[in-house]
Amino acid sequence: MIPFKCKHALQTPLRVFTVLFALMSVLGCGKEPATPKDLSKENLIPKPVSLTAAGSSFRLSEKTGIYVQGPAEAAGELERIGQYLADRLKPATGFPLPVSMATEAPASGNIYLALGGGDTELGEEGYELNITEGLVALTANTPAGLFRGLQTIRQLLPASIELGEVQPGPWEIASGKIRDYPGYAFRGSMLDVSRHFFGVEDVKRYIDLISFYKMNVLHLGLTNDQGWRIEIKSWPNLATHGGSTQVGGGKGGYYTQEEYAGLVQYAQERYITIIPEIDMPGHTNAALASYAELNCDGKARELYTGTEVGFSTLCTRKDSTYQFVDDVIRELAALTPGPYIHIGGDESHVTGKDDYIYFMNKVQDIVLAHGKQMIGWEEVTLASLKPSSVAQFWANADHAKAAVAQGAKIIMSPATKAYLDMQYDSTTTLGLHWAAYVEVDSAYIWDPATFVGGISKDNILGIESPLWTETITNMDEIEYMIFPRLAGHAEIGWTPASGRDWEEYKIRLGRHKARFEAMGVDFYTSALVPWEDVDAMSDSGK
Ligand code: TNX
């Protein structure tokens, strides 16, 4: 239970109070929650690869310090990671949680974050967490691995750890050992900031929310018919004119390059790669409205605020189109430390097939020339893909198979399972349902490695769940559509298929209710999930 509910209950008249008191004891409210002693009963999402319980617990106190250890050249980064944990734990505990460098494990009562090395099974993002009565010790090969492990520590503490004001605690974690690493190297979500524009603060919250579930990619849909959302200095009208509206005719917006660089850094500090998408040659009305010369007839289009798709195209046989593409990719590549640029390529219904292929082959070369790998929606497989290119499957298995036949890797985003803009059921007011109604169970019950016959895990880079925003206008609506489905997608990307079972998962998910509430997440309370008011990951309510 979350303490403010207890305070409220205490003000009620005596008779009602007696009933409430009985209820509160059941829920563990009004007394200290039971000490969590069995690590195997924790409700972690994604579920760890392996976990052994040890039967006691660690207690965080006002004396707890966070000690970080690693080579001198990593000191700054390790201190930042330690500080990230301190910043997550300080508001609710009220403890000072100082961060310091260490050369060996600290004394009893502390948290120890150490870069190990050499544990090849843990790979780039895995971690090992050893919790004893005396110490919480997290080790990983890389800072990214430590960061993923910190999300586990957060989830092992009571849900009220996520509240912004001091709570009574106690702050205890069941003892034992977790060894954990992801099944797929690429685990992401896409946010479409073009159909409706979402400002820097919203994108930061999106990053924070996906990082809590150990995702490592944020794909930003920066351009579409309805809006161009990134400043391009060599073609300034794209943002100032092309970004000036959105679906429904609202005022739109765009990120300056400085703001965008700030987002990239914010994501990097959470070990999330931002993949920028410039959708071409279709979905380009905002660009076609900003520069007349991008149209074959030389006439600028009107800005568009509806939700149709497939009516726009760049002029693929004009040389100046490739000057435009080169300038945009050059500026974007300079803002992109990650390896990928997404060039869209979907639903180009008014581009001739030969023109489409001619265009894509040229664009792929441009992306490579600027030192990046190309990702495109599955239709790009019509072109001659280089082995470094990646196709993003959304609906057509033949496209995905053709991409694999060309040596390309696949990102799995089946619309019937992974599209976060699909309505949960026929009563959902937001979203669309052209692919399917996607209830929380359906979003969870599928395996990327068997979803398309002939495409196996080796061909798959990972999984991504896209949120298209034709009907989504603010952060509350974003949260309602992505949660709880995104948590399930994160688990599919991380946890081995053998560890995934809906009947077991739905219990863990139901126990995340207090955690969503404490984080202020506006989520869909699906009737298929047994939601429970469990605060502590204690033995109560299990
Ligand atoms: C299809 S799937 C699109 C988007 C829409 C989405 C709505 C794909 C690559 N393109 O343009 O926003 O459906 O669900």
Decide if 129 contacts 136 (C-beta within 8 A).
Answer: yes
Give the fold, CATH level 3, of 186-494.
TIM Barrel (3.20.20)
Pocket test for ligand 1, best of 225, 309, 413 (most atoms within 8 A of CB): 309
- Whether residue 4 is predicted with pLDDT greater than 50 in this model: the reply is no
Residue type, 90: K
Ligand 1 atom nearest residue 470's Cα: 12
Ligand 1 atom nearest residue 415's Cα: 2
Distance 358 CA to ligand 1 centre (A): 23
Active-site residue (options: 79, 347, 379, 503): 347
pLDDT category at 103 given cuts 50, 70, 90 is very high
Quick one: which of 238, 250, 242, 228 has its CA closest to 306? 250
Quick one: which of 438, 531, 418 has its CA closest to 187? 418
Please name the residue whose Cα sits nearest to atom 12 of ligand 1. 468
Distance 469 CA to ligand 1 centre (A): 9
> For the residues 67-79, what does the mean pLDDT come to?
97
Q: Which helix (H) or strand (E) holds 51?
A: strand 50-60
pLDDT category at 291 given cuts 50, 70, 90 is very high
pLDDT of amino acid 32: 62
Domain borders along the chain are 14-180, 186-494
**Exposure string for 174-203, b = 16+ CB within 10 A, e = fewer:** bbbbbbbbbbbebbbbbbbbbbbbbeeeeb
Decide if 172 contacts 59 (C-beta within 8 A).
Answer: yes
Distance 468 CA to ligand 1 centre (A): 7
> For the residues 133-159, what does the mean pLDDT come to?
98
Is 347 tagged catalytic?
yes
Ligand 1 atom nearest residue 309's Cα: 11
Token pair in block for residue 332: 């974007």
Please name the residue whose Cα sits nearest to atom 10 of ligand 1. 346
- Provide residues with CB under 6 Å of ligand 1: 309, 346-347, 377, 394, 419, 421, 432, 468, 470
pLDDT of amino acid 31: 53
Pocket test for ligand 1, best of 280, 285, 308, 347 (most atoms within 8 A of CB): 347
Second-level CATH architecture of 14-180: 2-Layer Sandwich (3.30)
Cis, peptide link before residue 281, omega less than 30° from 0? yes
pLDDT category at 534 given cuts 50, 70, 90 is confident
Ligand 1 atom nearest residue 419's Cα: 14
Distance 245 CA to ligand 1 centre (A): 19
Please name the residue whose Cα sits nearest to atom 11 of ligand 1. 309
Q: Calculate ∠ Cα 136-139-144, nearest 5°.
A: 120
pLDDT category at 34 given cuts 50, 70, 90 is confident
Please name the residue whose Cα sits nearest to atom 5 of ligand 1. 468
Strand partners, 462: 186, 411
Handedness of CA 38, 40, 44, 49 (dihedral sign): positive
Question: Tokens 């999106």 correspond to what residue?
Answer: 206
pLDDT of amino acid 27: 44
Pocket test for ligand 1, best of 346, 411, 419, 467 (most atoms within 8 A of CB): 346
Please name the residue whose Cα sits nearest to atom 7 of ligand 1. 468
Strand order in the sheet with 66-69: 50-60, 171-180, 127-131, 135-140, 110-115, 66-69, 99-101
Share of residues in the chain with pLDDT > 70 (%) = 92
pLDDT category at 218 given cuts 50, 70, 90 is very high
Distance 143 CA to ligand 1 centre (A): 35
> For the residues 403-427, what does the mean pLDDT come to?
98
Q: Which helix (H) or strand (E) holds 146?
A: helix 143-156
Ligand 1 atom nearest residue 347's Cα: 10
Distance 16 CA to ligand 1 centre (A): 52
Question: Tokens 């006002």 correspond to what residue?
Answer: 62
Cα end-to-end span (Å), the chain: 14
pTM of the model: 0.94
Question: Tokens 């679906």 correspond to what residue?
Answer: 247
pLDDT of amino acid 118: 80
The average confidence (pLDDT) of the chain is 93
Decide if 235 contacts 290 (C-beta within 8 A).
Answer: yes
Ligand 1 atom nearest residue 435's Cα: 14
- The SS3 call for residue 458 is helix
Pocket test for ligand 1, best of 420, 468, 471 (most atoms within 8 A of CB): 468
pLDDT of amino acid 16: 43
- Whether residue 253 is predicted with pLDDT greater than 80 in this model: the reply is yes
> Do the domains spanning 14-180 and 186-494 agree at the CATH topology level?
no
- Whether residue 22 is predicted with pLDDT greater than 90 in this model: the reply is no
- Whether residue 29 is predicted with pLDDT greater than 90 in this model: the reply is no
pLDDT of amino acid 257: 98
Distance 190 CA to ligand 1 centre (A): 11
Token pair in block for residue 20: 């409430």
> For the residues 459-478, what does the mean pLDDT come to?
98
- The SS3 call for residue 55 is strand
Greater pLDDT, 23 or 488: 488
4-13, 357-366, 441-450: range with lowest mean pLDDT: 4-13
- Whether residue 115 is predicted with pLDDT greater than 80 in this model: the reply is yes
**Contacts by 251-254 with C-beta closer than 8 Å and gap 24+?**
252/197, 252/226, 252/227, 253/197, 253/199, 253/229, 254/197, 254/227, 254/228, 254/229, 254/230
pLDDT category at 14 given cuts 50, 70, 90 is very low
Q: Which helix (H) or strand (E) holds 56?
A: strand 50-60
Q: Which helix (H) or strand (E) holds 518?
A: helix 513-518
Distance 413 CA to ligand 1 centre (A): 11
Handedness of CA 166, 172, 178, 183 (dihedral sign): negative
In a 10 Å sphere around its CB, with 0-12 CB exposed, 13-18 middle and 19+ buried, how is residue 441 labelled? middle
